[in-house]
Structure 1
Amino acid sequence: MSAKADVQLHDFTNIFSLSGKVAVVSGGSRGLGLHAASGLLQAGCSKVFITSRKAKACEEAVAALNALPTQGKAYSVPADSSKIEEIERLVKEVGKETDHVDILFANAGATWGAAFDETEEKNGWNRVMDLNVKGVFFTIQKFAPLLEKRATTENPSKVIVTGSVAGIMVGSLGANASFSYAASKAAVLHLARNLAVELGPRHILVNGIAPGFFPSKMANGLMEMAGGVETLAKQSPNGKVGQPEDVAAAVVYLSSRGANHVNGDTIVLDGGKIWGQAKL
Structure 2
Amino acid sequence: MDDAKLDDFPSLFSLKGKVAVVTGGSRGLGLSAASALLQAGASKVFISSRKANACEAAVKTLNALPNLQPGAVAVSVPSDISTISGVEKLLAEVTRQTDHVDILLANAGATWGEAFDTHPDSAFAKVMDLNVRGVFNTIRLFTPLLSRRASVEDPSRVIITASVAGLGVGTLGKNGTYGYSASKAAAIHLGRNLALELGPRGITVNSICPGFFPTKMSNGLLAISGGADVMAGDNPMRRLGRPEDIAGVVVYLCSRAGAHVNGDAIEIDGGALWNRGELLSPGKAKL
Q: TM-score, normalised by structure 1?
A: 0.97
> What corresponds to 2:225 in structure 1?
226
Aligned residue for 1:66? 63
Measure how far apart 1:13 and its partner are.
1.5
| Separation (CA, whole Å) in 2 of partners of 1:58 and 1:6 | 46
Instruction: Trace 1:95-110 onto structure 2 (pairs within 5 A).
Output: 95-110=95-110
Deviations 1:57-85 (A, max 9, x none): 00000000000121210000000010111
1: distance between equivalents of 2:79 and 2:154? 29
- Distance in 2, matches of 1:279 and 1:127, equals 30
Task: Report the Cα offset of residue 279 of structure 1.
Answer: 6.0
Q: Deviations over 1:120-144 (max 9, x none)?
A: 111x211000000000000000000
Q: CA deviation at 1:86?
A: 1.1
Verify: 1:195 aligned to 2:194, yes or no: yes
Does the 8 A contact of 2:234 with 2:278 survive in 1? no
Contact 2:165 2:184 in 1 (8 A): yes
Alignment-derived partner of residue 210 in structure 1: 209
Matched residue type, 1:180: G
Aligned equivalent of 1:54: 51
Deviations 1:6-31 (A, max 9, x none): 21110112101000000000000000
Distance 1:219 1:279, change over 3 A: closer
Q: Between Structure 1 and Structure 2, how many residues are aligned?
A: 276
Q: Which residue of 1 aligns with 2:151?
A: 152
Secondary structure of 2:142's counterpart equals helix
Structure 2 counterpart of 1:73, which letter? V
Q: 1:139 maps to what in 2?
A: 138
Shift of 1:167: 0.6
| Aligned residue in 1 for 2:260 | 261
What do the CA deviations read for 1:24-60 (whole angstroms, capped 9, x no partner)? 0000000000000000000000000000000000000
Match of residue 37 from structure 2: 40
Question: Residue 218 and residue 279 in structure 1: after superposition, are their counterparts in 2 closer, same or farther (change >3 A)?
Answer: closer
CA distance in structure 2 between the aligned counterparts of 1:227 and 1:100, rounded to whole angstroms: 46
The SS at the match of 2:275 is: helix
Report what 1:130 is aligned to: 129
Matched residues, percent identical?
Answer: 61
Specify the SS of the correspondent of 2:170: coil
Quote how far apart the aligned CAs of 1:277 are: 2.9
Partner residue in 2 for 1:87: 87
Unaligned 5+ segments in structure 1 are none
- Structure 2 CA distance for aligned equivalents of residues 155 and 119 of structure 1: 45
Q: Which runs of 4+ in 1 moved over 6 A?
A: none
